[in-house]
Amino acid sequence: MAGVVSATPIATQILSLTGGINTKYSSDVTRNIFVKGIHSHNDYWRDIPLYTALSYGVQSVEADVWHFDGDDTLYVGHHQAALNTQRTLANLYIDPLVSILTDNNPNNSYTATETSVNGIWDTNSAATLYLFIDVKTDGNATWPYVEEALKPLQEKGWLTTYNGSSVVSGPITVIGTGNSPYDYIFSQSERFYFYDGPIANLNDTANPSWVSPIASGSLQSICGDIATTGLNQTQYDLVAKLIENAHNLGIYTRFWEVPWWPVSTRNTLYRQVIGLGSDFLNADDLELASTFY
């Protein structure tokens, strides 16, 4: 009687292959992650900024930046007491994005005929990542330093641009908010950054989609007092009208300052805003937001 050949247990096979040439490739950092319409509010607060958001498929992140006279560095933090020499726009966002996109766009014999650029996500290489730059210091004084900080991405052709007549999508779309200088951004006939539109006051002259691909606004400021049961009919109709107006202009929408307590109120408001067709869920709890849909 022939002997029985015992197969190697599948668990052992998996362990032996993990991390090997057969299982690893250049875009591993976002493998099996699906893109979601979520905005990582105050992303720099997270233990690991940017990467945590990307791990949940978050498509939009936000960094508060500060500039000080006599210093070329842009610091990142919610307030000045939180700033330090290591928490910079370059360290937390620009350099990691350059690293990820470099890995996702290898230059070798296999890519010699490739004409398109791969974005952040392996599951959807055409999707752009929205990088909101929330300027906390004087906008006109700070923005030249923002432009300079973005050059490592811009020089590689990895930023969404406006060429004077149309928007050319790239792996990263930079949107200025906070004290970002609207007049200056609007006046640039060619640029690699955009402006966060005011959702409550949009019009096609001041905020065309080639200036503001996304429009944002405080839900509490727009609606006033919000009951624990969620938006009333008047508030619901107002938010619906703002979303419809933005979409008619080709602009995506985001509502921030959504009451977070009680949790049942937050969840109700999330469902109402999503149900009305808003494009980005403004979230502090990314784990919840990533499964909310």
Residue 169 backbone dihedrals phi, psi, to 5 degrees: -70, 140
Residue 248: C-alpha distances to residues 103, 208, 256, 276, 281 (Å)? 37, 11, 21, 14, 20
CB 78 within 8 A of CB 64: yes
- The verdict on 134 and 83 lying in the same domain is yes
What is the total count of domains within the chain? Answer: 2
Token duo for residue 232? 């009333």
Structural domain of 63: 31-106+113-195
Token duo for residue 148? 């300079």
13 belongs to a structural domain: no
- The verdict on 72 and 216 lying in the same domain is no
Partners of 65 in the beta sheet? 76, 135
d(CA 176, CA 264): 32
Predicted pLDDT of residue 24: 62
Predicted pLDDT of residue 7: 63
d(CA 268, CA 264): 6
User: Pairing relation of β-strands 58-66 and 129-135?
Assistant: parallel
pLDDT along the chain (293 residues), means of 10: 60 69 67 94 94 96 97 96 96 96 90 88 95 98 98 98 96 98 96 98 92 97 96 98 97 96 94 96 94 76
- The verdict on 150 and 42 lying in the same domain is yes
Domain boundary among 195, 224, 252: 195
CB 186 within 8 A of CB 230: no
- 3-class secondary structure for 170-229? CCEEEEEEECCCHHHHHHCCCECCEECEEHHHCCCCCCCCCCCCEEEEEHHHHHCCCECC
| Amino acid type, 272 | Q
Token duo for residue 200? 């409550």
Residue 91, Cβ density class (10 Å: 0-12 exposed, 13-18 middle, ≥19 buried): middle
79 belongs to a structural domain: yes
3 belongs to a structural domain: no
148 belongs to a structural domain: yes
Predicted pLDDT of residue 114: 82
Predicted pLDDT of residue 107: 86
Predicted pLDDT of residue 31: 83
Domain boundary among 195, 213, 233: 195
